[in-house]
Amino acid sequence: MEAAAVPAHMIGEKAGILAEDFDLTAVVDVEPLPPVVTSDDVVGSKEGKNQNGGEIVLGRNVHTECLEVTEPDANDEFTGDREAYMASVLARYRKTLVERTKHHLGYPYNLDFDYGALGQLQHFSINNLGDPFIESNYGVHSRQFEVGVLDWFARLWEIEKSEYWGYMTNCGTEGNLHGILVGREVFPDGILYASRESHYSVFKAARMYRMECVKIDCLISGEIDCADFKIKLLANKDKPAIINVNIGTTVKGAVDDLDLVIQTLEESGFTHDRFYIHCDGALFGLMMPFVKRAPKVTFKKPIGSVSVSGHKFVGCPMPCGVQITRMEHINTLSRNVEYLASRDATIMGSRNGHAPIFLWYTLNRKGYIGFRKEVQKCLRNAHYLKDRLLDAGISAMLNELSSTVVFERPRDEEFVRRWQLACQGNIAHVVVMPNVTIEKLDDFLNELTEKRSTWYQDGQVQPPCIAADVGNENCACAQHK
């Protein structure tokens, strides 16, 4: 076969993108290749209002740049044109991933992992459908790895093997959906209480399950306001309480005071048999056990369930999570399924059997000592970022038990998208994860201060006052600095 000419834009892109033995001259330009998405491709749309009355900026409509699936030509099997085209598409996509990973700061994902040793398992369709503790007739599963991971988390949260039930979820949202569902099954007429800073999946659960939901006010830190919580509990003393406790809120990384929540319930006349507590520990639920003087999340306290994400602090190429609850509670939810020869007690039916192996691999490699070192590094780097922002005259806040640095929202949406910052109203945040180095933070800070000098250079526009979000002492606006 005579190879087609190499498109000009592909020349010189072999290094770091294609395999050593990939024949660059075999790339056939039979269809237009997708453009490499760079930091400059940051057009957004606006829809709706945020909590401060400003416009909510949405991302681009992906339909305008989707990769169409087309039927193979009759002679593709012989010419190899389609294989060459798909190889070139994937090569350019990999280049995009490398570029976007370099500028990722706003979302709590640990991108520093290497699972090359597990590549040998990607040829198998591993499915842990059904209960992780009861083997299904489907034999290609990884339950032995999953239960090993669950036992590790059970030890972390201090509950005996015989007293817990759990499973590996597809994400943190599924953990919240399951924990709140168990609470609803234990107390069918219960009211769901959640702070306004809770993850959106908590309020999604309330809508899905048709539950009455009461939102609780928050302190400046983002922590639940137990004074407001008590007022709303006393207004509904006739119904059981189902409470979502945040072990690190989405935007500010605030940790709700679990002991104070329990004390507030007791003082309001709720005995332990009239409330169910679900702890949403998506990110910080795995970090807090390794922080000195941090309060403990433990089943020795009257909690019903805890969930964490596996792809956040641990790091995993696919979203996943862990949900642990008490054995006594799961029996109200589970049903035997003859078709599976197993028990149905999970949200999803089929479940990713590769994810437990990834987590088992990392937990074995790092262990408690490795995680403790990574947590200390994250907290140290988060303090570095907060101090540098304040030194530059930029409003910033860092909660005591958190690696989430909150600061004034950049004026330029292109800058926001370049660094993939999460924003809400007048604030944005950086989540300092194990893959976020001092060098990366310096690059971000240097670019932010340079851009900021142009945003406010003429004095006609002033940096926003975010005292209502971070407190007067952390606000560097003209009024508070």
Whole-angstrom distance between the N-terminal and C-terminal Cα of the chain?
A: 71
Contact between 251 and 424 (Cβ < 8 Å):
yes
Q: Which of 198, 307, 395, 402 does the annotation list as catalytic?
A: 402
Residue 132 corresponds to which tokens in the numbers above?
A: 């992780």
Q: Give how far Cα 14 sits from Cα of 35, 94, 99, 471, Å.
A: 16, 12, 15, 51
- Is 5 buried (19+), middle (13-18) or exposed (0-12) by CB count in 10 A? exposed
Active site residue 125: no
The DSSP bridge pattern shows strands 45-49 and 422-424 to be unpaired
Sheet holding 305-309, edge to edge: 164-169, 321-326, 305-309, 275-280, 241-246, 191-195, 213-216
Q: How far apart are CA 69 and CA 79, in angstroms?
A: 19
Sign of CA dihedral 116, 290, 172, 430: negative
**Contact (CB, 8 A) for 413 and 57:** yes
**CB-based contacts of 478, cutoff 8 Å, min separation 6:** 462, 463
Bridge-based pairing state of the strands 335-337 and 321-326: unpaired
Produce one character per residue of 22-42: b if its CB has 16 or more CB atoms within 10 Å, e if not: eeeebbbbeeebeeebeeeeb
Active site residues: 402
